[in-house]
């Protein structure tokens, strides 16, 4: 099925449907309308569709995750296997598969798997609408007894899968299942004055899913229920099996509108914030928006790794305190970066502020992409920025939230490139070669044909296939220090194209007009706020949106721990099409400084010992840095993002 | 009961009995023979005996740990509660209580608790000798099915408790229980040629306990079984419930004699090493000793926090790779530092090398002591060297290994001060005011009367109550850079007293001779090997064996994150008897450097931005540093051990 025919079927695979959201500044463009045909994303998306999703389907089958539904449906006698939240992996896989067929067209194999999965899920639904395979048979009486058992977390992922399926295929088969479960939850939880229970899920997720379900079904009850689940937190109503209430881990420590510091379990936090942002898109509530601003500012200003990774702590998979940004010991769960991008996407839809898109790009290109191997067959749960060669990806996990989260993000990526606004604007958030067919508010359809080697190259050429007045608003990333250069048909555009803005390139366009955006991307060295002790005296290297790192495999005979980067060492950008599925590496001459002689096996020494005449221990080495997202795809060895500056 | 009368009862409470160990250089001195009456340890030991141990007994009762034994014995119907290894907490408490009565004399309350606990434990033993309350009734068939269930770990603690009880009281009541269980294990595990099973416990502990049981009972089978449990590891015989074999977590990744890097779960590692060191004491095996040397060198040279904390990682409670020494994110489990001291004590007994005693002192004074609050009522499991005020001690834990481990260590402390050697030497390892009554190899008894305010003061005066030729060998700590000054009866001793040695002060002593040892303890600043990124540009401050830290409570109005220590800032040592149960604080003038202005809310910035004209943001502040062990005993706030050096 071609792109055109899918559009004609009425499929409308938007990821977050703000087309009628009252307080959205930006309107979505469906996945079907955008083809990514670039070097950076398209190969990975194809691998995701052709290799990762079928392989995940096997994992889901082999680990009993489908059998759990069959057991709940009375079709399998083996009992429940695995973690209590394992249904959610099936739902996330399903969502990924639906976005994937929206993007690439129905694939016979994938469609068959989708249909089979949906029938298995539907069979497990109880007559009262409840759906959760763990809580079947003898355990049915444990429903809603402990907010830590992820019942609504799983429900939220069901809803998102059902919405994706409906948008991609037009079928209401799974959407009806989702609505029956949503109705069950709505009948159970809510204000006591309505005869319902106070409470919410210990793991947020259902909030954003309910708002989306309201958008998809025009059922305002679902939005109101999401609002209830945001509002009910922080008042002492959530308690887990141990009767512990008000934990920051569960995002229950404060009423949402009083939160100013992002804290607790990182995925829980950003999922909740995404749901709250969805509410802001619908209701425009000022206090909710202010809390979201404070949380976002705290996260980006004090708790964000250079890769976009968030949630520094292994302990409770949590955000640490301000300025806790470890490298080797960073947790930086793949799901947390993805959840953060989902949150920022909703903020961007509400406010059209390029800073949100900057973070989304940082997190998708680095933190999220590092979560998967280049061959699409193994995944990181934790994403350190420094390693000694032991941290390697796994094909699957006992808690396997991350792999299908990467899969659904890659599959839905076309939906994140463009949006429109009611004033006749087309906003370009992420740059990728390909085409798009974008409907303006007045019904005109604008075709864009994008030619670029971004993020490897700084030039983006957009051939505009549309007539009349409208505005193209290409993002100038915040990292683009001097601003962008914009040319139209070879002539310099005179407007402002400053960093972290969307220049308003409004004119009467003619078919075939050529917009050229140049985003200068010299190699950048950054340093970290001095409160981050582990980065003291160290720099990281970036080019464009990509963070770079050094891997041992490129430096035979060199101990990466000894490598120091002189401030004035000039980097050369070298394209290596054969390496790591095609990357630009950065090369320079650095210093290897062996401390061995001076330290004589000691770990500590009195200050001031042996700090002179070290020059003889310095040797020049060829340093090759690769994009961080591509690390750990070759033979194991040390990896470093932050390199000490060579002594002046 | 006075000290003398306890000696007369035949009690012989040595912690590790190397009195007949063929390859021991040092022989133990029983707890009863040593009275600690100093400012530093004695108050905490009294609190441990009078407050902590009774409180722990209540916790053991309230959390069902005694009931578990009663349930196993058929005396309680409520079923098993808590973690599978909860028996071990009872055993460690019991060991602590026995050492405590050895040290302080039988206390009616404590003795009653001990006797009650022993009867409860004994009642739970099965006719075949098996003892493990979890594996009772229906779960009896789960015995020895999964090495991860801590059956022998608990057994080891039972043996240690039984040995302590026998040594302190002369009663064989619990020792007989222990031997029956040891016989059961010995009949079950061993070489297949003897018709036994290959295997070992996933959590080492039983190894050192079995060697000690062999020493206590003259039963070589127990020592041979310990040898078997060391030798069997690393050959693929251990597998947990998931069928995973050969994990570093369980110390099963390599045959012991091939280990060169200390790795995996820290407590497992150091407990196993303690057991292997016990074997070396008995059999002198060269390869085992070499492996222990390599592991000890690796730990102390690359994996040791300045506090003596070990096991850097929350993830698996494990050692990280070389040079992974975090501060805020350090795990540094209290039990790991204690286990390390136990291991080093056995190395010291074998080799009489002062470096082992240096580490023991470092870990007992800092890492272990920080594990308990000054009031003896709450405990740390993890021991970071930096905190933002959230990390506080708890009275008890669901996994509560650390509190009774601190208790048994404090209770047995008198046993770690002195040893003898067959050449007529008395070795002084740790300095504390008090008395000792030490039997030389030839049967002469030497009374020592020690007057000192160590570690607050640098002078130790020892009045020797003994006649004839023998050697006093007082340790000169490694930190004592310039060596010690030693005077006898007011005249300088002419021998060498270099750091990390035991000067051989051999002479014909006369009753009343006065040995004076001066261990100069200027305030020391240390820096860390440059491979430890988080300490780059930072210094820690020590005096004598004590590590110091800064706490927010002593610095109102100052953000500790801004504090920089000038290299030339002179410290003043101030005795504060009223503060933190009596400490010497270190005071100086430091700099507060507020980065706020230059960073404008940013977390990262291009290198080279805004590095000039910062002087106006520097203000002088009064810095007060307290001993690290005493942190988190007042109102919560930031804590820092490693302080950035003030810019030159």
Distance of alpha carbon A596 from alpha carbon A591, whole angstroms = 15
Best residue in A314, A382, A533 for a mutation probing chain B (most B CBs within 10 Å): A533
**B329 in contact with A at a CB cutoff of 8 Å?**
yes
The pLDDT of residue A608 is 77
- Is A339's pLDDT higher than 80? yes
Predicted confidence band at B4 (pLDDT cuts at 50, 70, 90)?
very low
Considering A401, A402, A480, A549, which one is annotated as catalytic?
A401
CB proximity under 8 Å: A 360-419 to B = 382, 386, 388, 390
The upper half-sphere exposure of residue A255, i.e. CA atoms within 13 Å in the direction of its Cβ, equals 9
Predicted confidence band at B615 (pLDDT cuts at 50, 70, 90)?
very low
Partner-chain residue, chosen from A304, A326, A605, that has the shortest CB–CB distance to B527: A605
Q: Identify all chain B residues contacting A329, using CB atoms and an 8 Å cutoff.
A: 312-314, 320, 324, 326, 329
Distance of alpha carbon A97 from alpha carbon A114, whole angstroms = 7
- Chain B residue with minimal CA distance to A537? B536
**Which run of H or of E encompasses A562?**
none
Predicted confidence band at B610 (pLDDT cuts at 50, 70, 90)?
low
**Which run of H or of E encompasses A585?**
strand A583-593
% pLDDT > 70, chain A: 97
**A607 in contact with B at a CB cutoff of 8 Å?**
yes
Across residues B446-468, what is the average pLDDT? Answer: 97
- Is B613's pLDDT higher than 50? no
Contact A134, A140 (CB under 8 A): no
Across residues A44-73, what is the average pLDDT? Answer: 97
pTM given for the model: 0.95
Across residues B404-427, what is the average pLDDT? Answer: 97
Question: Is B401 part of the annotated catalytic residue set?
Answer: yes
Q: Could you tell me how far CA A261 lies from the centroid of its own chain?
A: 21
- Chain A residue with minimal CA distance to B398? A242
Give the pLDDT confidence of A206-225 residue by residue, as tens digits: 999 999 999 999 999 999 99
Query: Which stretch of A21-35, A111-125, A300-314, B10-24 has the lowest confidence by average pLDDT?
Result: B10-24
**B522 in contact with A at a CB cutoff of 8 Å?**
no
Contact B604 A528 (CB under 8 A): yes
**B17 in contact with A at a CB cutoff of 8 Å?**
no
**A312 in contact with B at a CB cutoff of 8 Å?**
yes
**B578 in contact with A at a CB cutoff of 8 Å?**
no
Residue whose C-alpha is closest to residue A184's, from A225, A223, A145 = A225
Partner-chain residue, chosen from A306, A322, A386, that has the shortest CB–CB distance to B604: A306
- Is A4's pLDDT higher than 70? no
Contact A323 B599 (CB under 8 A): no
Query: Which stretch of A160-169, A605-614, B528-537 has the lowest confidence by average pLDDT?
Result: A605-614
Predicted confidence band at B6 (pLDDT cuts at 50, 70, 90)?
very low
Q: Identify all chain A residues contacting B531, using CB atoms and an 8 Å cutoff.
A: 561, 595
* Dihedral pair phi/psi, residue B400, rounded to 5°: -115, 45
- Is B5's pLDDT higher than 70? no
Best residue in B604, B608, B645, B647 for a mutation probing chain A (most A CBs within 10 Å): B604
Q: What is the dihedral of CA A259, A263, A265, A268, to 10 degrees?
A: 30
- Is A35's pLDDT higher than 80? yes
**Mean pLDDT across chain B, nearest whole number?**
95
Considering B261, B317, B324, B351, which one is annotated as catalytic?
B317
Which distant-in-sequence residues (6+ apart) come within 8 Å of A119 by Cβ? none
The pLDDT of residue B241 is 74
Contact B531 A315 (CB under 8 A): no
Distance of alpha carbon A497 from alpha carbon A477, whole angstroms = 10
Give the pLDDT confidence of B168-219 residue by residue, as tens digits: 999 999 999 999 999 999 999 999 999 999 999 999 999 999 999 999 999 9
Rounded to the nearest angstrom, the minimum Cα separation between B207 and chain A is 29
- Is B616's pLDDT higher than 80? no
The pLDDT of residue A596 is 79
Across residues B390-409, what is the average pLDDT? Answer: 94
Q: Residue A297 pairs with which residues in a beta bridge?
A: none
% pLDDT > 90, chain B: 92
Contact B301 A602 (CB under 8 A): yes
> Looking at chain B, how many residues does it have?
648
Partner-chain residue, chosen from A315, A390, A595, that has the shortest CB–CB distance to B530: A595
CB proximity under 8 Å: A 261-280 to B = none
**B170 in contact with A at a CB cutoff of 8 Å?**
no
* DSSP code, position B266: H
Q: Identify all chain B residues contacting A355, using CB atoms and an 8 Å cutoff.
A: none
Contact A524 B602 (CB under 8 A): no
Three-point CA angle A251, A255, A261, nearest 5°: 60
Give the pLDDT confidence of B469-514 residue by residue, as tens digits: 999 999 999 999 999 999 999 999 999 999 999 999 999 999 999 9
The pLDDT of residue B3 is 37
The pLDDT of residue A611 is 55
**B81 in contact with A at a CB cutoff of 8 Å?**
no
3-state secondary structure A426-456: EEECCCCCEEEEEECCCCCEEEEEEEECCCC
Distance of alpha carbon A199 from alpha carbon A192, whole angstroms = 10
**B559 in contact with A at a CB cutoff of 8 Å?**
no
The pLDDT of residue A609 is 66
Give the pLDDT confidence of B542-585 residue by residue, as tens digits: 999 999 999 999 999 999 999 999 999 999 999 999 999 999 99
Residue whose C-alpha is closest to residue B541's, from B610, B641, B434, B459 = B641
Contact A320 B328 (CB under 8 A): yes
Distance of alpha carbon B344 from alpha carbon A222, whole angstroms = 63
**A504 in contact with B at a CB cutoff of 8 Å?**
no
Predicted confidence band at B114 (pLDDT cuts at 50, 70, 90)?
very high
Q: Could you tell me how far CA A152 lies from the centroid of its own chain?
A: 21
Contact A329 B320 (CB under 8 A): yes
Considering A212, A317, A324, A551, which one is annotated as catalytic?
A317
The pLDDT of residue A106 is 83
The pLDDT of residue A84 is 97
**B602 in contact with A at a CB cutoff of 8 Å?**
yes
The pLDDT of residue A109 is 86
- Is B34's pLDDT higher than 60? yes
The pLDDT of residue A16 is 98
**B312 in contact with A at a CB cutoff of 8 Å?**
yes
Q: Residue B36 pairs with which residues in a beta bridge?
A: B434
- Chain B residue with minimal CA distance to A319? B329
Partner-chain residue, chosen from B300, B528, B537, that has the shortest CB–CB distance to A537: B537
Best residue in B302, B321, B500, B533 for a mutation probing chain A (most A CBs within 10 Å): B533
The pLDDT of residue B385 is 98
- Is A372's pLDDT higher than 80? yes
The pLDDT of residue B239 is 84
Across residues A318-324, what is the average pLDDT? Answer: 97
**B487 in contact with A at a CB cutoff of 8 Å?**
no
- Is B86's pLDDT higher than 70? yes
Which pairs from B46-50 meet CB under 8 Å and 24+ separation?
B46/B104, B47/B374, B47/B375, B47/B376, B48/B96, B48/B100, B48/B372, B48/B376, B48/B406, B48/B407, B48/B410, B48/B411, B49/B100, B49/B103, B49/B104, B49/B107, B49/B110, B49/B411
Rounded to the nearest angstrom, the minimum Cα separation between B74 and chain A is 27
- Is A8's pLDDT higher than 50? no
Predicted confidence band at B10 (pLDDT cuts at 50, 70, 90)?
low
Which ranges constitute the DSSP H helices of A18-86?
A: 42-47, 53-62, 65-72
Q: Identify all chain B residues contacting A304, using CB atoms and an 8 Å cutoff.
A: 603
Rounded to the nearest angstrom, the minimum Cα separation between A327 and chain B is 9
The pLDDT of residue A610 is 56
Give the pLDDT confidence of B585-604 residue by residue, as tens digits: 999 999 999 887 788 889 99
- Please count the residue pairs, one from chain A and one from chain B, whose beta carbons lie less than 8 angstroms apart: 143
**A328 in contact with B at a CB cutoff of 8 Å?**
yes
Predicted confidence band at A105 (pLDDT cuts at 50, 70, 90)?
confident
């Amino acid at each position: 099925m071609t792109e055109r025919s899918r559009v004609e079927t009425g499929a409308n695979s938007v990821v977050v449907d703000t087309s009628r959201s009252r307080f959205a500044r930006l309107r979505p463009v469906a996945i079907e309308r955008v083809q990514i045909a670039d070097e950076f994303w398209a190969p990975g998306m194809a691998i995701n569709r052709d290799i990762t999703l079928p392989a995940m389907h096997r994992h889901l089958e082999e680990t009993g995750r489908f059998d759990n539904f069959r057991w709940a449906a009375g079709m399998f006698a083996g009992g429940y296997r695995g973690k209590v939240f394992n249904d959610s992996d099936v739902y996330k896989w399903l969502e990924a598969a639906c976005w994937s067929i929206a993007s690439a067209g129905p694939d016979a194999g994938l469609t068959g798997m989708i249909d089979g999965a949906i029938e298995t899920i539907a069979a497990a639904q109880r007559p009262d609408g409840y759906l959760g395979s763990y809580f079947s048979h003898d355990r049915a009486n444990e429903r809603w007894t402990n907010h830590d058992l992820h019942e609504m977390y799983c429900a939220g992922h069901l809803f998102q899968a059902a919405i994706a399926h409906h948008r991609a295929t037009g079928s209401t088969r799974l959407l009806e299942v989702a609505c029956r479960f949503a109705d069950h939850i709505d009948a159970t939880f809510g204000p006591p004055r309505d005869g319902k229970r106070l409470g919410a899920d210990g793991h947020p997720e259902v909030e954003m899913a309910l708002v989306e379900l309201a958008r998809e079904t025009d059922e305002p009850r679902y939005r109101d229920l999401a609002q209830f689940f945001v509002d009910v937190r922080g008042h002492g109503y959530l308690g887990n099996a141990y009767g512990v209430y008000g934990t920051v881990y569960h995002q229950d420590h404060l009423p949402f509108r009083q939160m100013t510091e992002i804290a607790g379990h990182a995925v829980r936090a950003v999922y909740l914030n995404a749901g709250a942002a969805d509410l802001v898109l619908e209701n425009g509530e000022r206090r909710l928006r202010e809390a979201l601003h404070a949380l976002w500012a705290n996260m980006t200003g004090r708790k964000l790794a250079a890769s976009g990774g968030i949630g520094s702590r292994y302990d409770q998979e949590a955000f640490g305190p301000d300025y806790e940004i470890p490298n080797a010991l960073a947790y930086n769960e793949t799901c947390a970066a993805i959840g953060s991008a989902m949150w920022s996407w909703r903020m961007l839809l509400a406010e059209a502020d390029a800073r949100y898109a900057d973070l989304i790009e940082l997190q998708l290109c680095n933190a999220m992409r590092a979560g998967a191997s280049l061959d699409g067959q193994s995944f990181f749960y934790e994403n350190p920025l420094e390693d000694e060669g032991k941290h390697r990806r796994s094909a699957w996990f006992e808690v396997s939230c991350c792999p299908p989260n990467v899969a659904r993000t890659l599959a839905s990526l076309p939906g994140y490139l463009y949006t429109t606004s009611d004033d006749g604007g087309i906003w370009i958030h992420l740059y990728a070669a390909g085409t798009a067919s974008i409907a303006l508010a007045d019904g005109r359809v604008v075709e864009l044909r994008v030619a670029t080697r971004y993020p490897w190259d700084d030039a983006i050429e957009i051939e505009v296939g549309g007539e009349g007045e409208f505005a193209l608003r290409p993002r100038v990333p915040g990292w683009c220090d001097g601003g962008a250069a914009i040319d139209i048909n070879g002539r310099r555009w005179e407007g402002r194209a400053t960093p972290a803005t969307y220049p308003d390139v409004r004119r009467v366009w003619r078919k075939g007009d050529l917009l050229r955006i140049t985003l200068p991307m010299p190699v950048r060295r950054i340093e970290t706020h001095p409160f981050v002790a582990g980065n003291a005296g160290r720099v990281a290297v970036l080019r464009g949106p990509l963070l770079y790192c050094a891997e041992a495999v490129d430096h035979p005979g060199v101990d990466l721990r000894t490598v120091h980067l002189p401030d004035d060492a000039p980097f050369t950008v070298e394209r290596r099409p054969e390496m790591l599925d095609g990357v630009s590496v950065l090369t320079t001459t650095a210093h290897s400084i062996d401390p061995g002689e001076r330290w004589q096996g000691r770990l500590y020494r009195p200050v001031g010992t042996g700090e002179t005449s070290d020059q003889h221990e310095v040797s020049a080495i060829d340093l090759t840095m690769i994009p961080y997202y591509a690390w750990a795809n070759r033979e194991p060895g040390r990896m470093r993002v932050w390199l000490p500056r060579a002594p002046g």
